[in-house]
Amino acid sequence: MKRHDSSPEMGPRRTGFALVCDPAGKIISIVSDFAGLPTEVTVGRLFPSIVAGRSAGDAFDFLDEVASKGSAFDRALAMKDDRDPEWFRFSGSQVDGLLVILASQVEADALVVAMSELNNELVNSQRELARTNAELARLSEERMVLLRELKHRDKNTFNMIASLINISASEGDSPEASKVLGELDDRVRAVANLYSLLNDSESFTELRLDEYCAKIAAGMLAGRPGLALVTDLDPVSIPISLASPIGLILTEFLTNTLKYAFPEGRQGRVRVTLKVSQSGGMLTVADDGVGIPPDFDSTKGGGLGMGIMRGLAEQIGGGIAITGDGGGTRGELAFPLSKPR
């Protein structure tokens, strides 16, 4: 079988040809009875090497299918040429261990129609994607509005509960009951402060712990003119599931400070410190009050407040320690920056 080397001017533009290749895809024979065979189609070349651009990968797949399944049909591939690449449809089969490949040229009009249909499908897909994205954006905005409304309602609910507790404490006849209600009011307000900060933030999952601690401390020391509040808080965002227990522990630390450290109107200073490192965080409440008894052990015993602190610290994988002497008291909470699983 011979290749015909007729020039393009000697006959009509090409319509098709046949190749015989060895199992590796190397061209060993060409059959063509029309003028203008693509210039790259020559004996000795590998079939994928005569295919243009991205079609080369498809040519390898075509050969693999012919070799593995015995035949492959109707594969459109662009052929290399000294002119612009032109498209052919290829079918192939195995004959006596050789690969016989038939190629027929894709008419220009048919190619234009196919490209037009493909373009229309692409445009329709883009329009559908745009509609889907718009619907997802609308649903996402509705979800955000609902979540913001829930956060606002939660904040108002906790503030209302705290106000009712405060009213009950002020109207009670028992000083002991009023004191217990006052401590409960501080705990509820700690949770209300959390929702207040959440309501002002864009996040639904994290909270600035430094801002939260500052808000709790300022609220609890308000109205105590004899006490100075000093804060040193590293900025850090943590999950809400961590922030809430930490806020309640801080509330208990400050409750004990205000209850025991400064008796009979004694003046002093309360320092709240938050330090963060790669290993975790450390929240400290230190005062210069009267201190604690020498035999005090923060790991056991104590009242309701100590029980709350120990339980909350264990819940978040942290630990508390309270130390002090006649020069004041120091409460520490060590905690991870992410909640243990």
- pLDDT for 197-246, tens place per residue? 666 666 767 889 999 899 889 888 888 888 999 999 999 999 888 888 89
Q: What is the mean pLDDT of residues 72-84?
A: 77
The answer on 218 and 177 residing in a single domain is no
Q: 35 falls in which pLDDT band (50, 70, 90)? A: low
Q: What is the mean pLDDT of residues 104-120?
A: 63
The answer on 192 and 315 residing in a single domain is no
User: Who has greater pLDDT, 89 or 192?
Assistant: 89
Total domains in the chain come to: 3
Q: What is the mean pLDDT of residues 39-57?
A: 83
The answer on 331 and 234 residing in a single domain is yes
**Residue 3 domain-assigned (yes or no):** no
The answer on 179 and 241 residing in a single domain is no
**Residue 265 domain-assigned (yes or no):** yes
- For all residues of the chain together, what is the average pLDDT? 79
The answer on 187 and 64 residing in a single domain is no
The answer on 214 and 197 residing in a single domain is no
The answer on 211 and 139 residing in a single domain is no
**Residue 35 domain-assigned (yes or no):** yes
- Residue by residue, what is the 3-state secondary structure of the chain? CCCCCCCHHHCCCCCEEEEEECCCCEEEEEECCCCCCCCCCCCCCEHHHHECCCHHHHHHHHHHHHHHHCEEEEEEEEECCCCCCEEEEEEEEEECCEEEEEEEECCHHHHHHHHHHHHHHHHHHHHHHHHHHHHHHHHHHHHHHHHHHHHHHHHHHHHHHHHHHHHHHHHCCCHHHHHHHHHHHHHHHHHHHHHHHHHHCCCCCEEEHHHHHHHHHHHHHCCCCCEEEEEEECCCEEEHHHHHHHHHHHHHHHHHHHHHHCHHHCCEEEEEEEEEECCEEEEEEEECCCCCCCCCCCCCCCCHHHHHHHHHHHHCCCEEEEEEECCEEEEEEEECCCCCC
The answer on 253 and 335 residing in a single domain is yes
**Residue 88 domain-assigned (yes or no):** yes
**Residue 341 domain-assigned (yes or no):** yes
The answer on 261 and 337 residing in a single domain is yes
Domain that holds residue 144: 135-204
CATH number at residue 245: 3.30.565.10
The answer on 55 and 87 residing in a single domain is yes
* The predicted structure's pLDDT at residue 7: 37
Domain termination residue (choose one: 160, 179, 204): 204
Backbone angles phi, psi at 77, to 5 degrees: -135, 145
Q: What is the mean pLDDT of residues 284-313?
A: 82
CATH number at residue 89: 3.30.450.20
**Residue 288 domain-assigned (yes or no):** yes
**Residue 128 domain-assigned (yes or no):** no
The answer on 327 and 220 residing in a single domain is yes
Domain termination residue (choose one: 175, 204, 233): 204
Q: Taking every pair of C-alpha atoms in the chain, what is the biggest distance, in angstroms? A: 117
Q: How many CB atoms lie within 10 A of CB 274?
A: 22
CB 286 within 8 A of CB 265: no
The answer on 262 and 156 residing in a single domain is no
Q: Which among 291, 273, 280 is positioned nearest to 313, based on CA atoms? A: 280
**Residue 118 domain-assigned (yes or no):** no
Query: For residue 50, is pLDDT > 50?
Result: yes
Q: 76 falls in which pLDDT band (50, 70, 90)? A: confident
Residue type at 183 in one-letter notation = E
Domain termination residue (choose one: 151, 174, 204): 204
